[in-house]
């Protein structure tokens, strides 16, 4: 045995030896941590840090103070509103559609709808905005059809760039998103439970009241939360359709980033970003928590 | 069960009908719009022809595909070994990494963009060293989960030991043994990551990069109809291809595929 | 509510082109436990589900007592059912699960509690009353399911392969428990399984099914010793099937002429059905020519040994004897096989 090996062996046995950090246990995780840390954690921490800096790099809360005033305050309110409304408008129809598709649809149909919903749910931004401009814009074909049917949607103050208009467009990706994320919950409703309930004397109504809906409820709430986060954070579509008339936080941040809007506080955008993260986290973290709990009886 | 199926059919049909209306009416209207030829007052493929013949069209599609492909490679290179190791070693790090993989869901893309803008040195920006990695982060929650589920559903320990005892080192094991076994999950991962990268706009535009999606917006400033034609193509083509693919490809036999 | 008898009369059911049940009839007497046994696809589960009202038959009737249940919806049938797996409601506690049937029958809260508690005690799970499904093992879940099915004193108890998803040891214990409970409550029970050991061990009678038809329904003893068809003979236990010729009501097996009991045998080419325990294996000297088979393998199982031999005609015969009687037989040894049964069962070839 070489001296090196003997020393090493000694170190292994000797209780006074310096505690070894067993590198091999954690080494394989290094690539992941390196990439994830550098490209994700680092920017986020830096964002949080800078949001507390004033123009001359002093620690301050002034960015946040400004962020809570107009016009940013309205921006937050509008963003939260559009998140809530688009989630509410999409959640119920989406849940019902998911129910019928998963319960009664043949396998091929379910998969096809799943895939198509995937495409639609990720249809964001610019193509979607253009598509709706083409359909429901002032010159749009659908507008013309509706006009012919007697409903001039532009008679009032409607425009695609208004809150209502944006809401309608958001629905286009929120509804498929709901179908995608709620379907597993429907699938998890084993038909054994319905049969057992029937056998024990429950009518369909009683089954739904005592078993079905209580089981679906947490997933429904979770899905709603995710939809909210999705609507709240959406940028591209809003950017393409609005013309600066509708204050929305993502747009305001975008403006500050571009330098189109010059603010006296350089780091205002960062503060806005941090607040967006907080609001989004308020929705997504409960979503993840509920998903974790309900997965106990799903996907067995 | 059969009786239940019959009872539900009418409701299903109504649901599908309403969904179809919801999905296709805007699409068709937009399509109609995009084949208008305002100068002649009739219809034609003018805008599509224009779009396809634009030199930038091909350039930007290739560029976006290239970035997406790099993203996919990064994703697979990092996640497959890491997840394989996590599954095999029962490492205490697993819950931590599971949790971390979900974090990008919590952060709105806009906020992430702001953070990214102030974090990376100039020389790295707008190169292939930066953007695909950011796309990787965005796709991480979905890719991680797809691969995790895939690896959970196979007898990983047995397979890798079989591979190693047959003489393959770790690298070869992963490539020749593990990836083929979980090819369903790998395919999903590739699809999700690729689609996400191709369609990503927010991060791209806020950080002043050029990809297909940002180019379309740029085009719209001068030629709205042309931009609409391009948008229609980028929406409809994946839609149709996926619908076709799922209808054709047989599903692996599960309990529900009856 | 006392148990009634169950009468299934000429029930047929088709799924698409597949005939799941073909003119199936069976009567289960009050307090009797009848098992439906057969390979997958034989129709046993379909029959059970029709009785439960979860499927509707194409033709035929189901009677409970004197009442025709054919058009009674499932939730009004007052039958307790235990499913194969995953039937406990995950959002309700064990206690609430067990009390569910009572709740549907508008029984008051405190009475429900008491009755549920009683039943949980009967299955030994009163300590788990407040727990939830995911906290219980498979065996525990099925015991809760059993308690739940019996809580409202159903007229009929139905069990759909309740033990299939459980470990071997748990299966044996739980089947005894089911039988014990059923006997003490006197509930008319129909039990579906593909495991013959299970069926034979706990049933009053067993109905062997094949491809939608009931082949034979009899006590376990009768099924084993007097199978009426080749299917039943092969399905229950191990059976040697020796092709031979029937002449004047007798067959010759290994040089011995034996009386054959033949029902509905149409030709003289028959198959003799001989149980392993009815075959005697004797050692013969090395040079002697009276050996009619060669040992292939001997499985020592303690008190008894299973010996497989190959006859000169190439057929593999299985014999079961006490280990002391066989001594140490080695593969390759010549032996003399002899059938010891007084009468041989034969069926058509």
pLDDT tens for residues C8-36? 999 999 998 888 999 999 999 999 999 99
* The pLDDT value given to residue A8: 54
Q: Evaluate whether C344 touches C259 at the Cβ level (below 8 Å).
A: yes
Rounded mean pLDDT, A143-157:
75
Q: How far apart are the first and last CA of chain B?
A: 11
* The pLDDT value given to residue C82: 95
pLDDT tens for residues B57-96? 888 888 888 999 999 999 999 999 899 888 888 888 888 8
* The pLDDT value given to residue A103: 83
Edge-to-edge order in the sheet of strand C269-274: C240-245, C269-274, C343-348, C256-262, C250-253
- The two tokens of residue A94 are 């989406």
pLDDT tens for residues C196-208? 999 999 999 999 9
Q: Which residue of B has its CA nearest to C14?
A: B2
Q: Does B246 touch chain C (CB under 8 A)?
A: no
Yes or no, beta carbons of C80 and A206 under 8 Å apart: no
* The pLDDT value given to residue B128: 64
* The pLDDT value given to residue B254: 43
Nearest Cβ partner for A235 among B31, B109, B213: B109
pLDDT tens for residues C35-66? 999 998 889 999 999 999 999 999 999 999 88
Give the Å distances, CA to CA, from A199 to A111, A210, A283, C67, C76: 32, 14, 39, 18, 8
* The pLDDT value given to residue B4: 53
Q: Within 10 A of C128 (CB to CB), how many other CB atoms are there?
A: 18
Q: Please check the confidence at residue B23 and state whether its pLDDT lies above 70.
A: yes
Q: Please check the confidence at residue B46 and state whether its pLDDT lies above 80.
A: no
Taking contacts as CB-CB distances below 8 angstroms, the residues of chain A near C52 are 199
More confident call, B52 vs C144 = C144
Q: Does C160 touch chain B (CB under 8 A)?
A: no
Q: Can you tell me the distance from the alpha carbon of C32 to that of C181, in angstroms, rounded to the nearest whole number?
A: 12
- The two tokens of residue A64 are 């946040």
* The pLDDT value given to residue A20: 47
* The pLDDT value given to residue C41: 85
More confident call, B251 vs B101 = B101
Yes or no, beta carbons of A125 and B213 under 8 Å apart: yes
* The pLDDT value given to residue A15: 52
pLDDT confidence tier of residue B41, bands split at 50, 70 and 90: low
**Residue C121: which of C158, C146, C139, C103 has the closest Cα?**
C146
Yes or no, beta carbons of A47 and B199 under 8 Å apart: no
Q: Can you tell me the distance from the alpha carbon of C236 to that of C11, in angstroms, rounded to the nearest whole number?
A: 25
* The pLDDT value given to residue C213: 92
pLDDT tens for residues B194-216? 888 888 888 888 888 888 888 88
Q: Please check the confidence at residue A165 and state whether its pLDDT lies above 90.
A: no
Q: Please check the confidence at residue C219 and state whether its pLDDT lies above 80.
A: yes
* The pLDDT value given to residue A4: 57
**Residue C85: which of C135, C48, C136, C138 has the closest Cα?**
C138
Taking contacts as CB-CB distances below 8 angstroms, the residues of chain C near B258 are none
Nearest Cβ partner for B114 among A47, A100, A141: A47
Element (H, E) at C243: strand C240-245
Dihedrals phi, psi of B251, to nearest 5 degrees: -90, 150
Q: Can you tell me the distance from the alpha carbon of C292 to that of C199, in angstroms, rounded to the nearest whole number?
A: 37
3-state secondary structure C251-270: EEECCEEEEEEECCCCCCEE
Dihedrals phi, psi of A52, to nearest 5 degrees: -95, 5
Q: Please check the confidence at residue A300 and state whether its pLDDT lies above 50.
A: no
Binding-face residues of A in 172-211 toward C, CB within 8 A: 190, 192-193, 195-203, 206, 210-211
For chain C, give the mean pLDDT: 89
**Can you give the pTM of this predicted structure?**
0.81
Which is it for the CA torsion B43, B45, B51, B54, positive or negative? negative
* The pLDDT value given to residue A23: 63
Q: Please check the confidence at residue B8 and state whether its pLDDT lies above 80.
A: no
Give the Å distances, CA to CA, from B39 to A102, A285, B47: 48, 53, 12
* The pLDDT value given to residue B257: 36
Q: Please check the confidence at residue A222 and state whether its pLDDT lies above 70.
A: yes
What's CA A60's distance to the chain center, in Å? 30
Yes or no, beta carbons of B257 and A285 under 8 Å apart: no
Angle subtended by helix axes A163-187 and B2-34, to nearest 10: 150
Q: Evaluate whether C242 touches C254 at the Cβ level (below 8 Å).
A: no
Yes or no, beta carbons of B3 and C15 under 8 Å apart: no
pLDDT tens for residues C75-117? 899 999 999 987 999 999 999 999 999 999 999 999 999 999 9
More confident call, C289 vs C71 = C71
- Percent of chain A residues past pLDDT 90, beyond the cut: 35
Rounded mean pLDDT, C252-265:
80
Rounded mean pLDDT, C220-245:
87
pLDDT confidence tier of residue B1, bands split at 50, 70 and 90: very low
**Residue B39: which of B229, B225, B221 has the closest Cα?**
B225
pLDDT tens for residues C159-190? 999 999 898 889 999 999 999 999 999 999 99
pLDDT tens for residues C228-238? 888 898 889 88
- The two tokens of residue B24 are 């296709």
Give C347's Cβ-side CA count (13 Å radius): 14
| List of residues 6+ apart from B125 with CB closer than 8 A | B207
Taking contacts as CB-CB distances below 8 angstroms, the residues of chain A near B245 are 115
Rounded mean pLDDT, B91-114:
90
- From C189's Cα to the closest Cα of chain B, the distance in A is 23
pLDDT confidence tier of residue B258, bands split at 50, 70 and 90: very low
DSSP A171-210: HHHHHHHHHHHHHHHHHTS-HHHHHHHHHTT--HHHHIII
- Percent of chain C residues past pLDDT 70, beyond the cut: 97
Binding-face residues of A in 168-207 toward B, CB within 8 A: 172, 175, 187, 191
Q: Which of A58-72, A149-163, B187-201, C262-276 has the lowest mean pLDDT?
A: A149-163
* The pLDDT value given to residue C293: 86
Q: Please check the confidence at residue C311 and state whether its pLDDT lies above 80.
A: yes
Q: Please check the confidence at residue B255 and state whether its pLDDT lies above 60.
A: no
pLDDT confidence tier of residue B125, bands split at 50, 70 and 90: low
Binding-face residues of C in 27-86 toward B, CB within 8 A: 54-56
Rounded mean pLDDT, B99-125:
84
Cis bond upstream, residue C189 (ω within 30): no
DSSP C179-220: HHHHHHHT-EEEEEES-HHHHHHH-SEEEEEETTEEEEEE-H
pLDDT tens for residues A101-126? 888 878 777 777 777 777 777 766 77
Taking contacts as CB-CB distances below 8 angstroms, the residues of chain B near C54 are 1
Coil, helix or strand for C281?
strand
Rounded mean pLDDT, B210-223:
83
For chain A, give the mean pLDDT: 83
Binding-face residues of B in 2-21 toward C, CB within 8 A: 2-3
Q: Can you tell me the distance from the alpha carbon of C197 to that of C171, in angstroms, rounded to the nearest whole number?
A: 11
Q: Please check the confidence at residue B151 and state whether its pLDDT lies above 80.
A: yes
């Amino acid at each position: 045995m070489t001296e090196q090996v003997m020393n090493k062996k000694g170190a292994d046995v000797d209780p006074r030896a310096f505690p070894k950090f067993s590198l091999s246990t954690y080494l394989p995780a290094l690539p992941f941590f390196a990439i994830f840390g550098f490209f994700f954690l680092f920017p986020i921490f830096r964002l949080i840090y800078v949001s507390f800096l004033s123009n001359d790099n002093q620690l301050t809360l002034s960015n946040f103070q400004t962020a809570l005033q107009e016009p940013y305050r309205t921006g937050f309110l509008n963003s939260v509103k559009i998140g809530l409304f688009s989630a509410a408008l999409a959640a119920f129809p989406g849940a019902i559609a998911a129910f019928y598709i998963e319960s009664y649809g043949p396998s091929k149909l379910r998969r096809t709808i799943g895939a198509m919903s995937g495409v639609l749910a990720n249809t964001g931004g610019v193509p979607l905005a253009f598509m709706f401009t083409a359909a429901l814009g002032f010159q749009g074909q659908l507008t013309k059809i509706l006009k012919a049917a007697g409903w001039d949607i532009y008679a009032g103050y409607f425009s695609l760039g208004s809150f209502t208009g944006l809401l309608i467009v958001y629905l286009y990706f929120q509804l498929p998103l709901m179908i995608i994320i709620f379907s597993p919950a429907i699938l998890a409703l084993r038909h054994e439970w319905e049969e057992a309930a029937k056998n024990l004397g429950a009518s369909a109504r009683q089954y739904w009241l005592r078993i079905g809906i209580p089981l679906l409820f947490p997933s429904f709430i979770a899905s709603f939360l995710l939809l909210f986060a999705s609507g709240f954070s959406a940028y591209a579509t809003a950017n393409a359709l609005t013309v600066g008339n509708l204050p929305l936080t993502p747009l305001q941040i975008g403006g500050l980033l571009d330098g189109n809007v010059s603010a006296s506080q350089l780091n205002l955008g960062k503060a806005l970003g941090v607040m967006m993260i907080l609001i989004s986290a308020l929705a997504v973290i409960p979503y993840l928590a509920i998903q974790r709990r309900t997965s106990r009886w799903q996907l067995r | 069960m059969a009786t239940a199926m019959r009872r539900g059919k009418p409701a299903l049909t109504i649901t599908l009908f309403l969904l179809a209306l919801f999905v296709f009416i805007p699409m068709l209207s937009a399509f109609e719009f995009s084949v208008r030829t305002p100068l002649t007052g009739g219809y034609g493929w003018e805008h599509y022809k224009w779009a396809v013949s634009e030199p930038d069209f091909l350039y930007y599609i290739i560029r976006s595909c290239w970035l997406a492909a790099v993203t996919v490679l990064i994703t697979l290179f990092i996640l497959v070994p890491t997840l394989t190791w996590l599954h095999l070693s029962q490492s205490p790090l697993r819950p931590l990494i599971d949790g971390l993989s979900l974090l990008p869901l919590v952060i709105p893309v806009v906020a992430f963009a702001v953070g990214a803008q102030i974090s990376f040195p100039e020389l790295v920006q707008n190169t292939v060293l930066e953007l695909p990695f950011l796309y990787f982060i965005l796709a991480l929650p979905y890719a991680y989960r797809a691969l995790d589920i895939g690896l959970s559903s196979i007898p990983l320990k047995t397979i890798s030991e079989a591979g190693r005892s047959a003489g393959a080192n770790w690298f070869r094991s992963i490539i020749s043994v593990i990836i083929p076994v979980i090819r369903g999950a790998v395919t999903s991962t590739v699809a999700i990551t690729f689609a996400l990268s191709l369609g990503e706009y927010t991060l791209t535009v806020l950080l002043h990069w050029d990809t297909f999606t940002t180019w379309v917006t740029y085009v719209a400033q001068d030629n709205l109809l042309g931009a609409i034609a391009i948008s229609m193509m980028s929406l409809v083509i994946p839609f149709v291809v996926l619908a076709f693919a799922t209808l054709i490809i047989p599903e692996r036999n599960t309990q529900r595929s009856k | 509510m006392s148990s009634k008898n169950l009468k299934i009369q000429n029930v047929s059911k088709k799924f698409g082109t597949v005939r799941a049940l073909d003119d199936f009839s069976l009567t289960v007497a009050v307090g009797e436990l009848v098992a439906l046994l057969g390979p997958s696809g034989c129709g046993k589960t379909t029959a059970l589900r029709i009785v439960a009202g979860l499927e509707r038959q194409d033709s035929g009737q189901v009677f409970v007592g004197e009442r025709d249940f054919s058009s009674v919806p499932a939730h009004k049938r007052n039958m307790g059912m235990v499913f194969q797996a995953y039937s406990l409601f995950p959002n309700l506690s064990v206690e609430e699960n067990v009390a569910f049937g009572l709740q549907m029958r508008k029984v008051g809260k405190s009475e429900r509690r008491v009755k549920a508690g009683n039943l949980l005690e009967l299955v030994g799970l009163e300590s788990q009353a407040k727990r939830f499904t995911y906290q219980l093992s498979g065996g525990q879940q099925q015991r809760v399911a059993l308690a739940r099915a019996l809580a409202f004193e159903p007229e009929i108890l139905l069990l759909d392969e309740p033990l299939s998803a459980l470990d071997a040891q748990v299966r044996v214990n739980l089947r005894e428990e089911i039988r014990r409970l059923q006997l003490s409550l006197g509930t008319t029970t129909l039990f579906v399984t593909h495991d013959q050991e299970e069926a034979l061990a706990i049933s009053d009678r067993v109905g062997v099914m094949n491809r939608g038809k009931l082949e034979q329904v009899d006590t376990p003893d009768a099924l084993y010793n007097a199978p009426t068809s080749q299917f039943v003979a092969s399905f229950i236990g191990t059976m040697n099937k020796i092709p031979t010729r029937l002449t004047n009501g007798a067959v010759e097996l290994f040089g011995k002429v034996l009386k054959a009991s033949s029902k509905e045998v149409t030709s003289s080419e028959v198959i003799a059905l001989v149980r392993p325990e009815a075959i005697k294996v004797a050692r013969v000297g090395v040079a002697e020519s009276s050996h009619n088979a060669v040992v292939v393998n001997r499985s020592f199982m303690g008190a008894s040994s299973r010996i497989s031999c190959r006859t000169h005609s190439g057929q593999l015969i299985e014999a079961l004897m006490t280990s002391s009687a066989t001594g140490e037989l080695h593969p390759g040894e010549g032996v003399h096989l002899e059938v010891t049964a007084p009468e041989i069962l034969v069926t058509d070839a």
